[in-house]
């Protein structure tokens, strides 16, 4: 058997050590950079509107990073508080009525509002389960996020055909921000124990990051879809 030269063996170890260090340092560095960039962006937008007497940088010889972001969070929270009472709601409705009568602005505002309500509202229809379906052909399995039972007109149409369907979202890899909305027979969906966060990590990593798993039972078809949301 040919012996590996010491120089090559050392180079291999050196490369492996570098890659290990890169795996450890890169996520930390990128996270810090993104956080700092976001704080700086928020400060650059908010600080110019803060009166000098309320800005701590007017009294200190150094910048206070994050102060603008803090003010923005407090301001948005106050707006949300007043927006829930009758007077605040009336003011918001009046402002929305003006925007909804303005050409072009009406389309942009209504679209953005719908997106934010869908993503951020307290009783949002978020994905609660991860599953498997055979897609794009029998024998090939794809990871999906289960949204819930089919509702409304679609449910009526499927029921008339004798089909009990569930709504699933099939995202692509490695960027699961777009994908396909599929209506799948309930018995064709296999529910997984992993959380939606773990499923997202599996997708983004291209299958390289697999969540820990301790087998408790054999996989079963979907018998109950989690409520899309009516959390008390």
Question: What pLDDT is recorded for position 37?
Answer: 93
Q: In this structure, what token pair is assigned to residue 75?
A: 């301001």
CB 63 within 8 A of CB 57: yes
Confidence of residue 185 (pLDDT cuts 50, 70, 90): very high
Q: Give the span between the Cα atoms of 161 and 150, in whole angstroms.
A: 14
Confidence of residue 64 (pLDDT cuts 50, 70, 90): confident
Look at residues 185, 190, 148, 189 and name the one whose alpha carbon lies nearest to residue 163.
185
Question: What pLDDT is recorded for position 103?
Answer: 85
Peptide bond preceding 183 in cis form (omega within 30 of 0):
no
- Statement: the pTM of the whole predicted model exceeds 0.75: no
Tell whether the model's pLDDT for residue 194 goes beyond 80.
yes
CB 147 within 8 A of CB 168: yes
Q: In this structure, what token pair is assigned to residue 51?
A: 């009166």
Torsion on CA atoms 136, 142, 147, 148, rounded to nearest 10: 70
DSSP 221: B
Question: What pLDDT is recorded for position 231?
Answer: 39
Q: Can you tell me the mean pLDDT for 202-207? A: 85
Specify the higher pLDDT residue, 36 or 209: 36
Tell whether the model's pLDDT for residue 221 goes beyond 50.
yes
Question: What pLDDT is recorded for position 130?
Answer: 92
């Amino acid at each position: 058997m040919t012996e590996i030269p010491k120089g090559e063996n050392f180079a291999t170890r050196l490369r492996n050590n570098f890659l290990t260090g890169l795996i450890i340092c890169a996520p930390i560095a990128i996270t810090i950079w993104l956080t700092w960039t976001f704080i700086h962006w928020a400060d650059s937008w908010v600080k110019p509107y803060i009166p000098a007497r309320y800005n701590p940088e007017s009294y200190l010889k150094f910048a206070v990073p994050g102060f603008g972001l803090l003010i923005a969070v407090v301001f948005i929270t106050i707006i949300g508080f007043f927006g829930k009472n009758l007077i605040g709601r009336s003011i918001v409705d009046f402002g929305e009525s003006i925007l909804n009568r303005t050409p072009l602005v009406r389309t942009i505002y209504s679209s953005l509002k719908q997106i934010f309500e869908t993503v951020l509202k307290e009783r949002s229809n978020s994905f609660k389960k991860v599953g498997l379906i055979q897609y794009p052909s029998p024998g090939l399995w794809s990871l999906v996020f289960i949204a819930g039972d089919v509702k409304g007109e679609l449910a009526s149409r499927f029921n008339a055909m004798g089909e009990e369907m569930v709504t699933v979202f099939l995202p692509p890899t490695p960027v699961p921000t777009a994908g396909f909305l599929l209506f799948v027979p309930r018995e064709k969906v296999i529910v997984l124990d992993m959380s939606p966060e773990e499923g997202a990590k599996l997708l983004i990593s291209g299958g390289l990051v697999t969540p820990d798993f301790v087998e408790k039972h054999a996989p079963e078809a979907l018998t109950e879809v989690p409520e899309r949301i009516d959390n008390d």
